[in-house]
Structure 1
Amino acid sequence: MRIDIVGGGSLGLLFFSKLALSWHTDDMEHQGNDHQPDRLHLWTRTKAQAQHICQEGILFQTGQDQPVQKLLPTSISGCSVAGVEGSFKLEQAAPYEHTTPYEHATETITEKADLILLTVKQQHVNREFIQWLSERVHKHTIIVTMQNGLRTDRIWPDAWQVYVAVTTEGAKKLSPVWVVHSGHGATSIGDAAALYGTSAARDMAKSIQHYDEGTIAFLLKSLTKAGFNASLSKDIKLEVYRKLMINAVINPLTALWRIANGELLASKSRIMIMRQLFDEAAAVYGKNDIGWSESWWNDILQVCCATSANTSSMLADVLNGRPTEISWINGAIIGLARRANMKADAHEWMCRLIESLTTEEAD
């Protein structure tokens, strides 16, 4: 089985590191046998990042206060790293990636993947990206997307088998080669038919009870062995919309006020604005016959407490001058509101304010 992880950001480095360490342990246990290792490959945006990882390794911490482990992919059977240079961006390059020369080229990968885990952000999944991805798939390849927010466009080819993953794992990228597992969570995987309506996904949904014989079962087993809490979801749509609401309340406010997650609860006025965003999203869900629960408000408060010191992904993008995922988070709620002929004024303001932080000045 060959797994590709696409994206050298925090989640990509986290999942690659833990899977590689797990497979390294497995490989050590089978030394001297005729064990054929599975293949695990990481795709980074730039060749420079990939070469740096191949030469120096990944610095990985299982927690903020844990010792740093050095993972050298080239020393692990079945693991490899390569960079993608193209018209689309998988992540913004670090300054050194434009200036630091590397003598050794990364591995040229031609073998197609059986499973592809996408950890790139929504704004990077464009037509050029899909075109590149088409070179990595064969007719039975399963693609698992792991992005914040919700897409409403039909970007995935009907013939592709697309799954959706919702994760609450926390990861913090300290450098292009240094990642910290900043918070343990859970990862749910489900077929994308309810969200994207692809014919292949519908076919897969019909035989979901036989998943234990297939690729998704292998992924769940591999993730569990690597230390992740991973499971197959019977209602991934509900989990996607739950996470969408949580992100739509937390992310834009932390980015706008430049504060850590926990500071959202520092005053009644901040909580009042959070509640306004929550109530408006709940009304939009109701008009679209999307199930939601009042308990989700408590989930939002709990997330703020559990990740009190964390920097949201949207705040990180704003601080680094990168485009954000606002169009697929609060923008998705606005789209649902328009579909129901209603307004979502609070979320529209969030979009305008966040976009104003990252848009270049007009001439």
Structure 2
Amino acid sequence: MEVVIAGAGSIGMLIGSFLQEAGMKVTFYTRRTDQAEALKREGIQRINLDRSRSVFQVDATHDIQQLSKDALWVIGSKYSGVQNILAEMESAQVTGPVLFIQNGIAHLEIAYNTKWPHIAFATVEHGARRLDDRTVSHNGVGPMTIAVGRGDRKAFQCLSEADADTFPITFQNDPVQILMRKVLINCMINPLTALLQVKNGELVENRYALSLFQQLYDELMKAFPEFRAVLPYEAVVGVCRQTASNHSSMLGDRMAGRPMEIETIVTAVIRKAEEHDESLFLLKALEQLLIAVDEGGEGQ
């Protein structure tokens, strides 16, 4: 099976390495020519959980016309880049099934408004950090959960071939549930780590950060009580511990001086709660602080 991954960030490279390891043909579609050349020339280097290193040969290009039109496409870019990639795919007459792996929930509507007959969504709870254009560090194991939004599940079933103890893959039926579960986790971890500038594990080690973390959990579960059973407090703490040495995506953006994904993660959840006449006062305060940091252009 051939898989095209649009976006070679930490999660894109991590997924690509495991798919290639499982015997699939993986090609990356990158924004920059120099990254495509590095991946094509040297392959993906994955630093494993035991700190050993594995290299996987992949193909890569900056030219969408060189890519397979009927391959399985994985959209691995951040939310802000999704619409541009989809427009390029439509122009190139891509026909294959499309899997979206963005943080947050704002991409859900965008995906359903596309023309592709087979679309699916995935959440990825691994700890991963991009070290350079071809190197990703695997820092923690978590599930990759896939749910088909439209079309035939068989179009995505090949991904199960990469299922392993270090890269578990499961399928579920409800895209909204898996995306909401993940975005609620993101809302508890990303804003605090970005504002406090700490790694994920420090949220449950520092008593003051832990207090805020607990308050966020209680506030979110009050607004979305239907998720309390599928997202117990211990599970969210477990995510922090499993990815203890990882920088959250939002902190990574802040450290790199990039705009943080506030709208698709934090703002989208606040709006979702308001639809049910629920107010998220603490999360709203964190949202305003994050926007202030972003607009202030502050990096580290």
TM-score (norm. length: structure 2): 0.88
Q: Aligned runs of 1:342-357 on 2, under 5 Å? A: 342-357=278-293
Q: 1:44-74 CA deviation, whole Å, 9 max, x = no partner?
A: 11111111222333322222521x333343x
Partner of 1:16: 16
Choose the corresponding residue for 1:52, options 8, 14, 38: 38
What is the CA distance between 1:116 and its match in structure 2?
0.8
Choose the corresponding residue for 1:181, options 130, 138, 159: 138
Partner of 1:292: 228
Q: 1:86-124 CA deviation, whole Å, 9 max, x = no partner?
A: xxxxxxxxxxxxxxxxxxxxx961530331111111122
Partner of 1:151: 106
Matched, 1:166 2:123: yes
Matched, 1:304 2:240: yes
Change (3 A) 1:217 1:272: same
Retained in 1: the 8 A contact 2:129–2:137? yes
What is the CA distance between 1:174 and its match in structure 2?
0.8
Structure 2: gaps of 5 or more residues = none
Retained in 1: the 8 A contact 2:144–2:169? yes
Choose the corresponding residue for 2:156, options 216, 228, 252: 216
* Max Rg structure: 1
Instruction: Select between 176-185 and 310-319 the one with higher mean Cα deviation.
Output: 176-185
Change (3 A) 1:110 1:351: same
Q: How many residues align?
A: 295
Partner of 1:314: 250
Partner of 1:324: 260
Q: 1:240-298 CA deviation, whole Å, 9 max, x = no partner?
A: 22211111011110110011111112343322211222222222224xxx543385211
SS at match of 2:20: helix
What is the CA distance between 1:170 and its match in structure 2?
2.1
Structure 1 segments of 4+ aligned residues over 6 angstroms from their partners:
none
Choose the corresponding residue for 2:171, options 222, 232, 236: 232
Amino acid at match of 2:131: L
SS at match of 1:60: strand
Matched, 1:71 2:56: yes
Distance 1:51 1:226 in 2: 31
Change (3 A) 1:256 1:21: same
Distance 2:206 2:56 in 1: 43
Amino acid at match of 1:9: G
Matched, 1:81 2:74: no
Retained in 2: the 8 A contact 1:116–1:144? yes
Amino acid at match of 2:101: M
Distance 1:110 1:337 in 2: 41
SS at match of 1:163: strand
Change (3 A) 1:21 1:152: closer
Amino acid at match of 1:52: A
Distance 2:88 2:166 in 1: 31
SS at match of 1:116: strand
Retained in 1: the 8 A contact 2:139–2:245? no
Amino acid at match of 2:80: Q
Change (3 A) 1:71 1:158: closer
SS at match of 1:130: helix
Q: 1:140-181 CA deviation, whole Å, 9 max, x = no partner?
A: x21111111111773233532221111222221111111122
Change (3 A) 1:164 1:324: same
Retained in 2: the 8 A contact 1:53–1:177? yes
Retained in 2: the 8 A contact 1:263–1:308? yes
Determine what percentage of the aligned residue pairs are the same residue. Answer: 25
Amino acid at match of 1:60: R
Distance 2:170 2:20 in 1: 20
What is the CA distance between 1:360 and its match in structure 2?
4.7
Distance 2:231 2:164 in 1: 31
Change (3 A) 1:110 1:305: closer
Q: 1:313-335 CA deviation, whole Å, 9 max, x = no partner?
A: 11111001011112111112111
TM-score (norm. length: structure 1): 0.74
Amino acid at match of 1:135: S
Choose the corresponding residue for 2:276, options 314, 332, 340: 340
Q: 1:191-250 CA deviation, whole Å, 9 max, x = no partner?
A: 22xxxxxxxx2xx3xxx6xx4xx32122222x2279631121133432222211111011
Retained in 2: the 8 A contact 1:152–1:332? no
Distance 2:231 2:159 in 1: 30
Change (3 A) 1:174 1:138: closer
What is the CA distance between 1:310 and its match in structure 2?
1.6
Retained in 1: the 8 A contact 2:273–2:280? yes
Change (3 A) 1:153 1:114: closer
Change (3 A) 1:81 1:310: same
